């Protein structure tokens, strides 16, 4: 679900009505209007969609935080049977949700950076750096943000924050251009993740979703997504 | 000589922006950078700047321990060389 985060006083006022007292207080604590608006609009959209999916009233919905700061949904203070994740960048917010399995999403507007080279060395592995060195200009910017959003979606899905060294795993080659692929963290090879790149002309974005054992046996997933290639996508 | 907090604010002004606005003066020692609206990409980039400036290791080793900007200043003061 895409959330339009363009400044709009009416939308912002409406969104505040969805937030509980703690969220409204948090909103007021943002010193800058942009982050305040993005938080309010995204949290209101998240509440709306979760209430719809869980069949509950807004007043019954609250959020908890994992040890690493990843939020999860509570209904009547009990953990809700849904997995979600949210990301925003400038004018764009994205919310993803699934019934089961860990989930991560990331969106970034492609703003050229003066520290591309330093950042590439810091956050990408050798194959990723080589791929970036082979392209120039606009293509380089697009590949940088494609690789970064995929990495961050995976990090968010795993839920350990940046205690994980992002340069120690690499985005599979299949995902340098393709839309979908499978992935395993070298540190956690028993868990497989389905990755989808959903960027467009306006932004880079990716979703990573943990495949549970029941889904691994479901060959229909691959039939439905013809370009999903387990063999090509796996990062060993 | 500038204090660690003053150096951090100056480096934040030089290296971090939210919606085009420098954030050094906005740093709250009881909060973290995401409370200002700093993106994770910018936060990682800024961590690399601090590692060079203070000659310390921040990512990924200390990412879980440093919860606030106050924690960060304390860590930099204890470990900078």
**Where are chain B's structural domains?**
4-79
B contacts of A118 (beta carbons < 8 Å): 45, 48
Asked whether residue A76 falls in the same domain as residue A112, the answer is no
Confidence of residue B45 (pLDDT cuts 50, 70, 90): confident
Structural domain total, chain A: 2
The CA distances from residue A144 to A19, A134, A182, A204, in Å, are: 35, 12, 20, 10
The model's pTM? 0.87
One domain for residues A59 and A113: no
A76 and A149, same domain (yes or no): no
Q: What mean pLDDT comes out for the span B16-33?
A: 90
B52: contact with A, CB 8 A cutoff: no
pLDDT at A215: 63
CA dist A210 and A99 (Å) reads 11
Q: Which pLDDT score is estimated for A216?
A: 58
Give me the pLDDT at residue A162, please: 77
Q: What is the pLDDT of residue A221?
A: 38
Pairing of the two strands A180-185 and A83-89: unpaired
What are the pLDDT digits (tens) for A168-193?
Answer: 899 999 999 999 999 999 989 999 99
Q: Is residue A161 part of a domain?
A: yes
DSSP-derived secondary structure letter, B68: S
**Chosen from B37, B52, B71 to mutate, greatest number of chain A CBs within 10 A:** B37
Residues with Cβ within 8 Å of A221's Cβ and at least 6 positions away in sequence, in order, are A194, A215, A228
Residues from chain B that touch A68, judged by Cβ atoms under 8 A, are 64
Question: Are both A14 and A46 inside the same structural domain?
Answer: yes
B contact test, residue of A162, A167, A185 with most B CBs within 10 A = A162
- Let me know: does A209 contact A103? Beta carbons within 8 Å: yes
In a domain, A93, yes or no: no
Please tell me whether residues A138 and A218 are part of one structural domain.
yes
ipTM of the complex: 0.86
> Would the CB atoms of A152 and B41 count as touching at under 8 Å?
yes
| CATH number for the domain that contains residue A71 | 3.90.470.20
Does residue B60 carry a pLDDT above 80? no
Is there a single domain that holds both residue A173 and residue A141? Answer: yes
Query: Which stretches of chain A score pLDDT less than 70?
Result: 214-236
Residue of A nearest to B36 (CA): A30
Structural domain contains residue A89: no
Residue among A31, A34, A163 minimizing CB distance to B26? A31
Residues A119 and A63 in one domain: no
Same domain, A41 and A117: no
Which among A90, A108, A118 has CB closest to B41?
Answer: A108
Q: Would you state the pLDDT for residue A229?
A: 30
Tell whether B17 lies on the interface with A, counting CB pairs under 8 A: no
| Residue pLDDT, tens place only, A135-148 | 999 999 999 999 99
d(CA A179, CA A172): 12
Establish if A96 belongs to a structural domain. no
Residues A45 and A144 in one domain: no
What pLDDT does A48 receive?
Answer: 97
Q: Residue A22 has what pLDDT?
A: 94
Q: How far is CA A137 from the centre of its chain?
A: 26
Give the integer Cα–Cα distance in Å for A172 and A178. Answer: 10
Residue A143 in any domain: the answer is yes
Q: Give me the residue from B21, B45, B59 closest to A32, CB to CB.
A: B21
Question: B4-79: which CATH architecture?
Answer: Orthogonal Bundle (1.10)
Range of the domain at A35: 2-81
């Amino acid at each position: 679900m895409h959330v339009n985060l363009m400044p709009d006083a009416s939308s912002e006022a409406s969104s505040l009505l969805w937030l509980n007292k703690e969220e409204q207080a948090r909103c007021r604590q943002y010193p800058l209007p942009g982050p305040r608006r993005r938080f309010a609009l995204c949290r209101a959209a998240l509440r709306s969609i979760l209430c719809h999916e869980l069949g509950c009233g807004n007043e019954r919905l609250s959020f908890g935080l994992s040890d690493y700061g990843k939020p999860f949904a509570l209904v009547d203070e009990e953990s809700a049977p849904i997995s979600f994740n949210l990301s925003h960048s400038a004018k764009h917010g994205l919310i993803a949700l699934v019934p089961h399995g860990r989930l991560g999403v990331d969106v970034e507007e492609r703003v050229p950076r003066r520290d591309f080279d330093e950042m590439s060395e810091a956050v990408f592995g050798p194959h990723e750096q080589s791929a970036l060195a082979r392209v120039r200009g606009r293509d380089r910017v697009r590949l940088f943000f494609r690789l970064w959003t995929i990495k961050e979606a995976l990090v968010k899905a795993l839920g350990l924050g940046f205690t994980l060294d992002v340069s120690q795993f690499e985005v599979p080659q299949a995902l340098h251009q393709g839309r979908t692929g499978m992935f395993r963290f070298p540190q956690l090879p028993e868990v497989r993740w389905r990755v989808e790149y959903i960027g467009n002309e306006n932004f880079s974005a990716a979703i990573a979703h943990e495949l549970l054992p029941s889904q691994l046996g479901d060959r229909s997933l691959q039939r439905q997504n013809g370009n999903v290639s387990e063999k090509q996508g796996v990062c060993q | 000589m500038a204090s660690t907090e003053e150096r951090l604010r100056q480096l934040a002004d030089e290296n971090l922006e939210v919606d085009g606005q420098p954030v050094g003066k906005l740093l709250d020692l009881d909060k973290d950078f995401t409370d200002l609206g700093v993106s994770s990409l910018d936060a990682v980039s800024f961590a690399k700047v601090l590692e060079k400036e203070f000659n310390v290791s921040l990512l990924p080793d200390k990412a879980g321990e440093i919860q606030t900007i106050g924690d960060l200043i304390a860590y930099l003061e204890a470990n900078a060389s």
